[in-house]
Homo-oligomer: A and B are copies of this chain.
Amino acid sequence: MIPSDEFLESKGIRPTAMRLLVFQHLTKSKVATTLSDIENAFAKADRTTLFRTLKTFEQKRVVHQIDDGSGIMKYALCEEGCNCELERDLHLHFHCTNCGKTICLTEQKIPHINLPEGFVAEDANLVLKGICDKCSGQ
């Protein structure tokens, strides 16, 4: 496991204190995270800074944005297997309607779809909604 600061630098991101904290917070979190989540995690941080940090991370392919239909954007680290560098990563997401958590199912890929003549797909977003393993296990 390489140090966070080296990792960020390798992605072309200057590893400031704030960015390292955000990165480590994302690393620890197993689920997709909202801006507010992060804001609450470090009360001292400004919302704008966090917002721009996430935008920077996104641009440099460190995180990807997830629109799970909850109305609030979420972010999750791109993992090893994540193909964000090449093209949009086509793994899918699971949104639990019970606990509200959104989970990256990096193992599951979005199947190929045969589109009608003339349509060219460049990106895909698949969100399944239901009950997650934790909530169904109760």
Say whether A3 faces chain B, with CB atoms less than 8 Å apart: no
Judged by a CB distance under 8 angstroms, whether A45 is at the interface is no
Residues of chain B within 8 A (CB-CB) of A118 are 132-134, 136-137
How many residues does chain A have at the interface if contact means C-beta atoms less than 8 Å apart?
34
Partner of A119, one of B67, B94, B122: B94
Within 8 Å CB of A129, what residues of B? 121-125
A85 to B110, CA, bound (A): 26
A83 vs B120: C-alpha distance when bound (angstroms): 26
- C-alpha gap A1/B8 in the complex (Å): 61
A130: chain B residues at CB < 8 Å are 119-123
Cβ of A113 under 8 Å from chain B? yes
Residues of B within 8 A of A137 (CB): 118
* A122 surroundings in chain B (CB, below 8 A): 97, 129-131
A18 at the interface (CB under 8 A from B): no
**A residues apposed to B, CB below 8 Å:** 67, 69, 92, 94, 97, 105, 107-108, 110-111, 113-134, 136-137
